[in-house]
């Protein structure tokens, strides 16, 4: 939201700096006095949590890289060396591996929040599209990071996923195989593959940082959406970001970090696969190759389709379709709180995605395959049919006249009683 700067440097050095590089002005305007809707709930704290985990991943990763050896005959042992010999190496590694899981847990909540409250709708389409690109970059980064351990699951996950490109052979004979061998740097997954995955795993987080900067820029132009999904109209609709949301974000972060630490200290391998403690063996394929939990819904979609090429198309489409949500959703009302039909379909979509996650971890046969197909069908049906059609036929419930009214519980169609507290200024 464009607002006149209220930054007034007092110190001479601050004044000197301000006319040359107004970085303090930018921080003051965008992080301190930035007018933020006063009705944001805890689901709005996940952007900050994500920023924190991006920093955790980069800091722990940089130190891990000082001890890790990207060679097919030393990678696995170097990870064990980090765990046993490097001072605090076990903590660094467990923070990095569980940090990735926390990062994905937070991003799924962040995405679901955006979908429930219609945060992708005009004028926030670019913000959303940048988010989808961040998600893709996160997936690529974690996939590459997992391969570096060079355990059985690392090795076979790389083999399965890189082999997906071979499905292009069905379009141009030999094209897919050529691409796969180019990615591998040879005729099988091996040392050249490990080296390039390592290089890209180090590079991509910096690309994510750039994308996050654009993401937040694109957020601060239109300003935040909010649980009521209505625009800021009155001055009383907003409060300064600091101290109100720095405190709220800080509190939520502390709670989330407790969960993170519970995994790191009490169940550090719970989210991983035991087979990844067996060194990669190209001569022995594990009976079930499963990716990390956060890829399971997409893995289930991939395996639900009997044809390899169409499976890959469904897999790619399941993520790329998200890019078009701003245009697939025809509803004039943003927040699902006032959408009596859509909110149930949304709940079904969440259940469907969780079910896909469960099915992705099961063997692709019998009843699991049948359920995977049903859930895959609903996944696409929801995004391509339910979203456009329900938006056209549904009659929204009564909405509050302003964000201030929403906070005070006035005129809300949600039937919630008025809140006991008034505005923070009056408290
Ligand atoms: C590294 C990953 C990410 C970081 C650090 C990040 C950061 C942020 C931050 C700080 C905010 C403002 C606070 C908040 O609304 O929670 C935000 C808002 C938003 N993000 Fe993200 N984000 C990430 C990934 C994503 C992804 C993957 C998507 C969607 C595919 C997404 C979509 C959005 C949307 C739509 C908003 C606007 C929220 C609103 O005001 O309603 N973000 N993000």
Per-residue pLDDT tens for 87-138? 999 999 999 999 999 999 999 999 999 999 999 999 999 999 999 999 999 9
Residue at 340 is within a domain: yes
* HSE-up (13 A, CA, CB side) for residue 333: 24
pLDDT band at residue 4 under the 50/70/90 scheme: confident
pLDDT over 90, % of the chain: 95
Ligand 1 pocket residue status of 219, Cβ below 6 Å = yes
Query: What's the domain range around 328?
Result: 31-410
Q: Supply the residue whose CA is at minimum distance from atom 16 of ligand 1.
A: 47
pLDDT over 70, % of the chain: 95
pLDDT at 418 over 70: no
State mean pLDDT over 373-400: 98
Ligand 1 pocket residue status of 135, Cβ below 6 Å = yes
Residue at 296 is within a domain: yes
Q: Evaluate whether 165 touches 179 at the Cβ level (below 8 Å).
A: yes
Token pair belonging to 299: 């893995």
Q: What is the pLDDT of residues 324-345, one digit of tens each?
A: 999 999 999 999 999 999 999 9
Please report the beta strands in 237-356, taking only residues with DSSP state E, as ranges in sequence order.
Answer: 238-240
Residue at 92 is within a domain: yes
239 forms beta bridges with 36
pLDDT at 24 over 60: yes
Residue at 425 is within a domain: no
State mean pLDDT over 174-191: 98
State whether residue 255 is helix, strand or coil. helix
- For residue 263, what is the domain's CATH number? 1.20.810.10
State mean pLDDT over 28-54: 97
Q: Supply the residue whose CA is at minimum distance from atom 19 of ligand 1.
A: 47
pLDDT at residue 427, as a whole number: 28
Residue to mutate, 30, 50, 54, 337, ligand 1, most ligand atoms under 8 Å from C-beta: 50
Count of domains in the chain? 1
State mean pLDDT over 402-418: 71
Q: Mean pLDDT in the chain?
A: 95
Ligand 1 pocket residue status of 124, Cβ below 6 Å = yes
pLDDT band at residue 2 under the 50/70/90 scheme: low
Residue at 420 is within a domain: no
Residue at 347 is within a domain: yes
State mean pLDDT over 240-246: 98
Q: Supply the residue whose CA is at minimum distance from atom 41 of ligand 1.
A: 225
> How far, CA to CA in Å, does 167 sit from each of 178, 294, 319?
11, 24, 18
Residue at 3 is within a domain: no
Q: Supply the residue whose CA is at minimum distance from atom 26 of ligand 1.
A: 131
pLDDT band at residue 411 under the 50/70/90 scheme: low
- Cα of 87 vs centre of ligand 1, distance in Å, is 35
pLDDT at residue 196, as a whole number: 98
Ligand 1 pocket residue status of 127, Cβ below 6 Å = yes
Q: Evaluate whether 163 touches 157 at the Cβ level (below 8 Å).
A: no
pLDDT at residue 134, as a whole number: 98
Q: Evaluate whether 34 touches 240 at the Cβ level (below 8 Å).
A: yes
Residue to mutate, 44, 47, 319, ligand 1, most ligand atoms under 8 Å from C-beta: 47
Residue at 233 is within a domain: yes
State mean pLDDT over 391-402: 97
Q: Give 325's contacts (C-beta < 8 A, 6+ positions apart).
A: 115, 120, 128, 383, 387
Burial class for 20, CB neighbours closer than 10 Å (0-12, 13-18, 19+) = exposed
Q: Evaluate whether 129 touches 211 at the Cβ level (below 8 Å).
A: no
Q: Which of 12-26, 45-59, 273-287, 398-412 has the lowest mean pLDDT?
A: 398-412
Q: What is the pLDDT of residues 49-76, one digit of tens each?
A: 999 999 999 999 999 999 999 999 999 9
Can you tell me which atom of ligand 1 is nearest the CA of 211? 1
């Amino acid at each position: 939201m464009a607002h006149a700067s209220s930054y007034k440097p007092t110190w001479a050095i601050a004044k000197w700096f301000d006319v040359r590089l107004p970085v303090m002005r930018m921080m003051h305007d965008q992080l301190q006095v930035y007018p933020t809707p006063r009705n944001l709930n805890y689901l709005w704290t996940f952007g900050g949590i994500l920023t924190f985990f991006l920093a955790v991943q980069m800091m722990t990763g940089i130190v891990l890289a000082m001890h890790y050896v990207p060679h097919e005959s030393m990678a696995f042992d170097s990870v064990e060396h980090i765990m046993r010999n490097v001072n605090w190496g076990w903590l660094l590694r467990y923070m990095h591996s569980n940090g990735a899981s926390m990062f994905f847990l937070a991003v799924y909540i962040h995405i679901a929040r955006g979908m429930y409250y219609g945060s992708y709708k005009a004028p926030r389409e670019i913000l959303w599209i940048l988010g989808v690109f961040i998600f893709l970059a996160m997936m690529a980064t974690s996939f590459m990071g997992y391969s570096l351990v060079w355990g059985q699951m690392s090795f076979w996950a790389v083999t399965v996923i890189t082999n997906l490109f071979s499905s292009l052979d069905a379009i141009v004979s030999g094209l897919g195989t050529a691409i796969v061998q180019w990615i591998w740097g040879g005729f099988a997954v091996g040392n050249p593959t490990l080296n390039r995955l390592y290089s890209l795993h180090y590079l991509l987080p910096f690309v994510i940082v750039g994308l996050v900067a654009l993401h937040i820029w694109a957020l601060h132009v239109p300003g935040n959406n909010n649980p009521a999904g209505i625009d800021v109209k009155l001055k009383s609709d907003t409060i300064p970001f600091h101290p109100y949301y720095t405190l709220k974000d800080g509190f939520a972060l502390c709670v989330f970090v407790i969960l993170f630490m519970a995994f790191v200290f009490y169940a550090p391998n719970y989210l991983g696969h035991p087979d990844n403690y067996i060194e990669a063996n190209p001569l022995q394929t594990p009976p079930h190759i499963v990716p990390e939990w956060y890829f399971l819904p997409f893995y289930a979609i991939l395996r639900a389709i009997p044809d390899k090429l169409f499976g890959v198309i469904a897999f790619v489409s399941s993520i790329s379709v998200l890019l078009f949500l701003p245009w697939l959703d025809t509803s004039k009302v943003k927040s699902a709180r006032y959408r009596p039909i859509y909110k149930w379909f949304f709940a079904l979509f969440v259940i469907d995605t969780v079910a896909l996650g469960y099915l992705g971890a099961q063997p692709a046969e019998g009843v699991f395959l049948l359920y995977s197909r049903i859930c895959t069908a609903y996944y696409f049906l929801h995004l391509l049919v339910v979203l456009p059609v329900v938006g056209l036929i549904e009659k929204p419930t009564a909405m509050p006249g302003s964000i201030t009214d929403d906070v005070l519980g006035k005129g809300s169609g949600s039937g919630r009683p008025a809140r006991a507290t008034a505005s923070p200024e009056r408290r």
